Structure 1
């Protein structure tokens, strides 16, 4: 529904992106209206006017209408939770099995491409879903995303070569990028703004459960019946999810005021002709040109390789071309108006720095316990130390949604969240120097908790300043920013740790009397395999462990720095009222 305020308050036009196949770019939006769904099958959502409600029906009937609306929203969102759960399981399954998969094809050195291909495909297609769902409707794009993910899993499961499996991961990544983003867009379409964060927290809880189960499940399946069934086994539940979405997600309808000539002309245009193909191609190329150097540099090729500089130079050219093209498009794939709001840009960057900080921590924690514990734990046990952060993330999202619903305040939550995260990272720097007890192992909880609170609050911050006609691409771009900063955070934390580790270990080995050739050999062995510690002499082992601790200290410092930057940016956010309408930027 679109409701124009001020002088045109009486002018009402039904505009719900979920339901209408079109977006009305020049319409205002009453974001916090109550809704009831009289006919879910036909996809008709009837807005309940807040001012006239008490005049026409009693309080008891009003509550009944609101309860019915929530039941219908719950039904619509619930059918998508199965897909969210499976998609999040998939990522953890791959992390547990990528080495096994690549080894079957004698391509262990290329195992990283199973992860890189998925993330790059997702990043390149992320923003497409938002705009295409405005044009073709949410339901159709949800089904397309699920279908692509299912086909990709099937290709991986039956692949006979390494690059067939990589192709499957590309297809899966292109589908998975739309699955999570479109759920958030649907929630935004259907719910009053005060309730959006709380419902997204429930979705995040399901996603967290999927991430937690995926790794152990994938490892168990690989050991018992083979890794292929880790992916073929995802096909039946995703097929069921497609059937449920087809049956229960509302179809689109729209009614447009005949006096709104611009909206009427927009509806008459061919849907296909409205797709910004040039912008989509340039943006996908831009994302790949930015992320490929980050993914490949220092791993597959050295940072000094000419390809790194070529891609970075190409990204600058592609960015200029993309901006020039989008300025001339009637319906750009990524509306540049999104970036006219200071708070929108701040929200993107705060979430980005928080994501990089948490990924740096998630990288360092298992490695820390593998290196410092004696006897050294298995990778599974070391990874279990991440559970407090994962639990904190889920709890933080739920609390954040509840507080926003009751108080309508989100800026203070963002500041509190990044402060909490910063304290957690600072505790790691101060206390994690080896021999960490069970209580101090919980210091990662604040980092995860702060991320959960911040992600929910920043989603509301974005909604408060974005034109509703641009909400779907804006939400997709927010998810893209998370992907980009994940890609930045992990390599950055690893590079910092490796640099300090090599330098400190070299100094310690020279002090122990080893010559330069022996030092180089020991450093090479120590940084390539943590199992080296088990067979090393006591002096060398102590030198390696202390050097790892030094390197990981700087990794925590990276997370702390990112969180402090996010805290500074959060101060400049503006608190707007969640009082029944969106504040204009």
Structure 2
């Protein structure tokens, strides 16, 4: 197998039969035919030089700013189907791990808190991973342009595995948080580089199918995280094993990448192999990278701590907001005026498709993460469901996410169009969130299982289509930077969604409790007694159903009902904003060859 696949490093002639189908799955005879053609050609063949001198007036807006790198007028080889399958498998493993690790701690926190006696700070286990992922994820696009995809993919896997090793060997909470931070840096690369590298080896017309598979593995990893953590935490040797068990998967992914991801020296995104790593590192926009990480870190920290550890009306929160704005302004200034090869080209946002796609990503992720967070709270607080029943109601949404991504990919492959399908996705999201807004304590069980299905379907369509729309709007040599922009907007939207959702929920809950509970003051129930009830109810939904006095129980449930409804209305508003953004996306041709000459 290894010998036959390695021969596919050569170029496959560009014909109308080079489509690889869903996730590169083709019949054996087609693979064999392509391998025979692979053996007869090499990447250096001058007969297959791409002719992409004319990629349209729009493409000329994005002339390459990268000094010394191979640009779009040179050849972009096609990869044969068998090799694509193996390369994509290695990246699917990375995506699965990154998603798994993001949720695996949800069922491990109680075990870890008990061992380290650190319950008040236990949330930093999750926060550390999210902070580093969000901060470093946007850097991988430009860095991999300069250093190459393979080195950065290997680096991400190694860093992820090292972080898991540190977590498993931790002897205190903050050592564990450090390991989670390191793991997050690697995890950010595993997800973003998978999308970037896919664009290197697959034509745009087929690209969405592979993105659908990436989304499918991400959904599987997310849904399995809690189950895997719970199993190892209770039955599989302890919580440390849950981290160690991920290391062998990293090793397998690394081996596959090293063995099969052979982007040739003349590949535009393979790095400038004629220069040393030191020279290539000197080309990087270090000022922009440092300012971007600083701005994102401050933003994520402010969003995560605001309203919880740090009150919104405190001077410290105001200071963090000011520092975040200053850091963001410094980053934009550096990228706009001080560097010729920016780490994250903000000038690309002048293009309406890139800007509209970025905003659509920002808003739809913001809305979906808020629904996914507060719908379970509604089930638990208003309907008195346990964790198992709540978890069951989220399972169908993972299926709809997979179907939405794959369906969008199949549609774009068959038609080469995406604009109207994007608007259809927007309509599905809005209808789904309208359904969520009508939830009540009497909502039928069958409908509860479907509440997250419709918005999940629509969001998965939007995420898949908008990424392709952004990539299609720029020349091939800028696809990595454009993908990084998309991931940056997703990360900030996700974090801000959780923060704004918490603020809306908390404020509405406190107002409802003050108005409705204090109205029960009487000779039998003093104001002091009711304020104590308010304090307990605001901190624990479980207390309402287990220990709250019977006379106030229905009132407390009603307060939680209206607080959750306020967050659902917020989700609907941001979904409408995402839809408005999508209207401004311009439809570009989805080419059938990587070189975009077909």
Look up the match of 2:89.
78
Correspondence list, 1:228-243, <5 A: 228-243=240-255
Q: Is the 8 A contact 1:146 1:242 kept in 2?
A: yes
Correspondence list, 1:27-426, <5 A: 27=72, 36-37=78-79, 69-224=80-235, 225-254=237-266, 270-326=279-335, 327-373=337-383, 376-426=384-434
- Tell me how far apart the structure 1 counterparts of residues 333 and 583 of structure 2 sit (CA, whole Å): 33
Q: Calculate the TM-score normalised by the size of structure 1.
A: 0.85
- Tell me how far apart the structure 2 counterparts of residues 554 and 251 of structure 1 sit (CA, whole Å): 50
Deviation of 1:444 (Å): 1.9
Change (3 A) 1:508 1:182: same
- Tell me how far apart the structure 2 counterparts of residues 539 and 264 of structure 1 sit (CA, whole Å): 75
Q: Alignment partner for residue 556 of structure 2, among 540, 544, 569? A: 544
Q: Is the 8 A contact 1:89 1:212 kept in 2?
A: yes
- Tell me how far apart the structure 2 counterparts of residues 178 and 195 of structure 1 sit (CA, whole Å): 23
Q: Is the 8 A contact 1:465 1:583 kept in 2?
A: no
Deviation of 1:193 (Å): 0.7
Q: Alignment partner for residue 532 of structure 1, among 543, 546, 561? A: 543
Look up the match of 2:32.
none
Q: 1:448 and 2:494 equivalent?
A: no
Deviation of 1:179 (Å): 0.2
Partner SS for 1:222:
helix
- Tell me how far apart the structure 1 counterparts of residues 296 and 238 of structure 2 sit (CA, whole Å): 35
- Tell me how far apart the structure 2 counterparts of residues 580 and 230 of structure 1 sit (CA, whole Å): 42
Count of aligned positions: 530
Please give the per-residue CA displacement for 1:412-468, whole angstroms capped at 9, x wherever unaligned. Answer: 1221112111111111212x1102212221122111000111111001110121233
Aligned residues: CA RMSD: 2.7
- Tell me how far apart the structure 2 counterparts of residues 22 and 125 of structure 1 sit (CA, whole Å): 25
- Tell me how far apart the structure 2 counterparts of residues 85 and 343 of structure 1 sit (CA, whole Å): 29
Moved more, 267-276 or 116-125: 267-276
Change (3 A) 1:511 1:234: same
Correspondence list, 1:371-520, <5 A: 371-373=381-383, 376-430=384-438, 432-441=439-448, 442-513=450-521, 514-520=525-531
Please give the per-residue CA displacement for 1:115-143, whole angstroms capped at 9, x wherever unaligned. Answer: 11111111221122111111111000000
Q: Is the 8 A contact 1:137 1:252 kept in 2?
A: no
Q: Is the 8 A contact 2:83 2:260 kept in 1?
A: no
- Tell me how far apart the structure 2 counterparts of residues 272 and 176 of structure 1 sit (CA, whole Å): 22
- Tell me how far apart the structure 1 counterparts of residues 254 and 273 of structure 2 sit (CA, whole Å): 32
- Tell me how far apart the structure 1 counterparts of residues 55 and 229 of structure 2 sit (CA, whole Å): 59
Q: Is the 8 A contact 2:78 2:201 kept in 1?
A: no
Listed as ranges, the gaps of 5+ residues in structure 1 are 9-19, 38-68, 257-262
Partner SS for 2:379:
helix
Please give the per-residue CA displacement for 1:304-349, whole angstroms capped at 9, x wherever unaligned. Answer: 2222222222222222322332233232211233222121011011
- Tell me how far apart the structure 1 counterparts of residues 50 and 116 of structure 2 sit (CA, whole Å): 55
- Tell me how far apart the structure 2 counterparts of residues 469 and 6 of structure 1 sit (CA, whole Å): 14
Please give the per-residue CA displacement for 1:16-73, whole angstroms capped at 9, x wherever unaligned. Answer: xxxx997345x4589xx8x544xxxxxxxxxxxxxxxxxxxxxxxxxxxxxxx23321
Partner SS for 2:341:
coil
Q: Calculate the TM-score normalised by the size of structure 2.
A: 0.84
- Tell me how far apart the structure 1 counterparts of residues 317 and 161 of structure 2 sit (CA, whole Å): 33
Look up the match of 2:53.
5
- Tell me how far apart the structure 1 counterparts of residues 289 and 163 of structure 2 sit (CA, whole Å): 22
Listed as ranges, the gaps of 5+ residues in structure 2 are 1-48, 57-65
- Tell me how far apart the structure 1 counterparts of residues 200 and 172 of structure 2 sit (CA, whole Å): 43
- Tell me how far apart the structure 2 counterparts of residues 570 and 371 of structure 1 sit (CA, whole Å): 35
- Tell me how far apart the structure 2 counterparts of residues 429 and 405 of structure 1 sit (CA, whole Å): 35
- Tell me how far apart the structure 2 counterparts of residues 410 and 528 of structure 1 sit (CA, whole Å): 46
